[in-house]
Structure 1
Amino acid sequence: MLILFLGMGIFALLPLLVKNDFYLDGFILIFVWGAFAGAWNIISGYGGMVSLGHNAFFGIGAYTSTLLFLRQGISPWIGMWAGAVIAAITGVILGVICFRLRSHYFALATLAFGQVASIVALNWRGLTEGAEGLTLPIHPGFTKMIFATKLGYVYMGLALLVAVLLITFFLDNSRLGYFLIAFRENEDAARALGVRTGRVRLVAMAISSALSALIGAFYAQYLLYIDPSSVVRIQIAVQVALFAIVGGVGTVFGPFIGALIFIPITIFLRARLGTSLPGLHMVIYGGILILVLFYMPKGIYGMLRERYFPSSRIFK
């Protein structure tokens, strides 16, 4: 816990020393994707149920908050929680249907769910405006969650990241966390010991889905424009899974470490190469993933923790 507060304290001070909006955007993206990867990690890392459909929950949060604000005048501070509730209910329903599947079959089922969500967002023009997207008015105001400077978004993103890290930390040290890990390691043995695996997984899915929606709602306010390609395309789910896997699934800090590595690479390549070599960052992502899977199967953070702090409860 002490390490968490020290680390986040450093990240809270760094933006004050940076005046360039380009670098502040980098901080925001690291916090957003680090938090999202952490939310994914709750069901997929601790629960062992690899989801490739979390783009749907991210999109639910983004579209719910944006639509309530544009069409009903409801503040995004309220809309983001409405999106979280809808995402949690959707996640539970998906879990009831799909948790009977195991391993890659569950992953494929969630992939199909995520793809359906993307198709619905693209074609339900009466609700989402399809590929044209929805644009938020640029009128700064705290109640609108539209800040006059980048620093507001930086600290909002940092707050979401800290919230996800704290929830994950307490989960890691709770009965729910122990039950999830027991299920992940051996479902039959967990059931034999009396663990109600179905209920445990549904709770984890609800938490993971709700957090993903909250982050999606904030991301929409940061962009001030959303369309299916920016908040609900299937690549989002694959990307967030990649961050967590490379950083270290089933750990508190691993997903954030993954985002901390990949986001600067993406920003650097886009700034240097522009559109001359589109998709190069995905090639590099794939190369890093292969290296990590071969040489650090527990992820970068997992490897560092195992090597330098094998018995520590702080570096979890």
Structure 2
Amino acid sequence: MSDFATSLAPDAAAAVQGWLASLKSERRMSAKTLEAYARDLGQFARFLADHLGTPPSNRDLALLTVSDFRAFMARRRMNGVESRTLARQLSSLRSFYRHAEKTGLFRNPALSALRAPKLPHAVPKPLSPDKAKELAKADTLAGDETPRWVLARDQAVLTLLYACGLRISEALSLTTAQVEQPTLTITGKGNKTRLVPLLPAARQAVALYRELCPFAMKPNEPMFRGQKGGPLNARNIQLLIARLRGALGLPDTATPHALRHSFATHLLANGADLRVIQELLGHASLSTTQVYTEVNRAHLLEQYRKAHPRA
């Protein structure tokens, strides 16, 4: 809240604080989502302080025009922000203004006149089954100087990303108590809980890591550790995959999240039901999962063009 303390008048800063508190208590948003919303409002507040020449109050927020909001979006665009981020920031502003109107602080109809930026139609870029298996083998980069437990740790993390379709944050937050169960209970985005089977390959990789890890593990603490014993940082895995990309000649789209995309795409290609995949990924809406049908369709068309004599 330090951004608001300096960029907003006290009453507006209190309004933002009340909005964030309601998101946490009523909508039970995760800490990371709340941080993103707070960051969006902080950037808006800093822009307004510069745009208006003074930290804006609730009255100023109520009197902003469509041109003021468009000026903020244009400034963000000039700073190199992409459409997807702009759309999220506009969604954050609308959520804040709805809260302000609902609680009787102020209202501003100008915001409803703004259109969200048109988003590019993005299709996930999974790896082939062979490439996904190669990427999930951390020992490709093994050297004499790399401790065995670190290799086992990296192998376990990458296997969980591909074999269980986990997000990197979900894999790194796993505890020993969770992996001792036949099915993982994962709390993902929006505090949505889902069940994911812990396949034998993943179970074996985790067991080897736990056997070799030199640090004591409490049941409800993050299981994956850095070399000094603290929780493993996602950046370590991102850098590892960047090195693996170079060693294996993979494209830049081969990221930790590409293993999750590969998990979903390969399940669909082998006949898994779309709603089952939705549950395994933890998607709130089936439409989010349906994007993987486009990946499958694109693959079929590519094979058709390669194989058909009249293509």
Where on the TM-score scale, by shorter chain, does this alignment land: which range? Answer: under 0.3
- Select the structure of larger CA radius of gyration: 2
Whichever structure has more helix as a proportion of its residues is 1
| TM-score under structure 1 length normalisation | 0.23
Larger RCO: 1 or 2 (CA < 8 Å, sep 6+): 1
